[in-house]
Amino acid sequence: MRFLPALLEPKYKGPILQLSKYTSALIPTPSKVYWEYKVRAPWGMLGNDTVGDCEIARIAHMLMEVTAHTGTMIVPTLAQVIAVYSTISGYDPSKVQPDGSNPTDVGCATPDVLNYWQTVGIAGHKIAGWVQTDSTQAAIQQAIWLFGGAALDIAVYQSMMNQTNLGQAWNNPSGDLLGYHAIPGFGFGSAGLTAVTWGKLQQMGWATLLQILQGNFAVITQDWIEQNGKAPNGFDLATLQTDLTSQAAA
């Protein structure tokens, strides 16, 4: 299982819209959401067991989840994920050294990946836009409820790896800081968050998430809108998209 040794400075220098500027007037989120239930196929590692492509694996898992709710589930292939990772980061699989390391396997920054998803796409699918959310439980819940998921950047501690290997929830992070990771959050309840990492569902308490959280984003995508023009939560996402686009241009 791979994660990144350091958070990277994004190459993307465009505007980053803050979701909090729009959502203050929205109705409260439910106490429990579990969008992840719709994905019946294996989530898949998508290369993140050997390569530091967690940012790309995350958006692939997000695409799987939203399309599972609104149509035919799209499952990006390993080749598609690695191709996107190579384009954004410069990763070259032929550069493996005798000790197994690869100097081109350096990871990506979230804004660069989301900008690529918006402008180029993955597996033939683009997003309409992306926004940054506050580092609070309420903001993360709101992003998951409105958009089907939250793109979370986290720190990884030794205790979390031990808990992962034992199939346990992440709680009380401790030990050495091992690096940084990108995961999608798809569900929540009073006890905490449900995310996907390294091909499996991963539970964690809210205190744990807020302790390890390094950044969080939401994406606006047509894939989250059903044929009746509504998102699975009943929200008029098309209107929200228009409002956010207008606000970004203001």
Q: Is residue 57, in this structure, part of any structural domain at all? A: yes
4 domain residue, yes or no:
no
Domain assignment present for residue 179? The answer is: yes
Greatest Cα pair distance, the chain, in angstroms, is 57
The structure tokens 């207008």 sit at: 246
Whether 230 is covered by a domain: the verdict is yes
CA separation for the pair 68, 34 (Å, rounded): 13
Give the pTM.
0.89
- Domain containing 27 — which CATH number? 3.90.70.10
* Confidence (pLDDT) at 240: 64
Q: What pLDDT does residue 227 have?
A: 72
pLDDT less than 70: residues of the chain: 1-27, 236-250
Domain enclosing residue 182, as ranges? 17-249
Domain count, the chain: 1
Extended beta strands in the chain, E state: 17-18, 33-34, 129-132, 150-157, 177-189, 192-197, 200-205, 213-220
Q: What pLDDT shows up at residue 225?
A: 82
Given this model, what pLDDT does residue 247 score? 46
If you search the block for the tokens 């799987």, which residue do you land on?
64
The confidence score (pLDDT) of residue 106 equals 94
- pLDDT for 153 equals 97
